Amino acid sequence: MDWLFLDSTDITVTNIVIRILLSAILGGLLGLERESRRQNAGLRTHIIIAVGSCLLMLISVYIPQTFSAYPNVDPGRIAAQVVSGIGFLGAGAIFRLGGSTHGLTTAATIWAVAAVGLSVGVGMYAAAIIVTMLLLFVLAILDKVGKKFITGGSLKTLKVNFQSTKIETSKVISILEKHDIITKNINIVQSKNKQNSTIKLYVFVPEGLRLKQFYKDMNELKNVGQISLGQDF
C-alpha cells in the first residue's frame, strides 16, 4: 500500500479520517498510562484533547486552501480568538475537592466542541461529524470500559474520630496501604475542647475492598472512635 498520500497537504476526507483516528489512538495510549496510575486526566481527557487539537490543525490548513480567492480576508482571525477564549469557559468547569481535581474531561469536551463548531463554520462537515461521533464514543463507552477494566475503584472520603489529640497517622496510612487504598489528601482537625481529634482523608478505594476486615484493622488502633467511609464524589 502506498502511504505517501499521508504526506499530502490537501485536506481530503481520507486524510481527515486517518489523522483524527491516529491522534485518538496516540492520545489514548498516553491517557491509558495516566489512567493506570489513578491520575485525574486519564484516558478520555487525553483522547479528547488529542482529537480536538488535530481538528484545529486540520482547520488551520484547510482555511488558506479554501479561501485563497479572498486575499484581503482572514477567516482564521476569529477562529484563533475562539480557540483561546473558550479556555476561560472550560476553566469554569474545573474545580478542586480536597486533594483532587474534577471537571477536566468536561473542560476538554467544551474545548473540543468549540473545534467542532469551527469545522462546521468553515465547511469541514465530514470532520465535524467524525469528531462528534468519536467524542460520543469516548464519553459514553470508554467511561464504562475504564471503570470496569482500568480504574476499578472510586474516590471516597474517610473520617476517623479519635478520643485523644494524639493520632498515630503512620499506622493509619499503613492500614490503608495494606488494603491497597491510595491516599489523595489528609486533614487533621482537633475539637475545641482539645480532647478529641478527627482525621479526614480523601482516598481511592479499590473495587474489591474487604470492608469487614478493613474496619476491624482500623478499630484496633489506639483511642479510635467512629469510622465512616463516605459516598463517591
- pLDDT tens-digit profile of 116-128? 888 887 788 888 8
pLDDT at 153: 67
Grid coordinates 480536538 are at which residue? 52
The pTM is what? 0.56
- pLDDT tens-digit profile of 97-107? 545 566 777 78
- pLDDT tens-digit profile of 27-42? 888 777 666 666 566 7
Provide the residue type at 8 as one letter. Answer: S
pLDDT at 109: 83
Domain map (residue ranges) of the chain = 8-151, 153-229
CB 141 within 8 A of CB 184: no
CB 195 within 8 A of CB 163: yes
CB 219 within 8 A of CB 155: no
Give backbone dihedrals phi and psi of 70, rounded to 5 degrees, phi first.
-120, 80
pLDDT beyond 60 at 4? no
Write the CATH number of the domain with boundaries 153-229: 3.30.70.260
Average pLDDT, the chain: 77
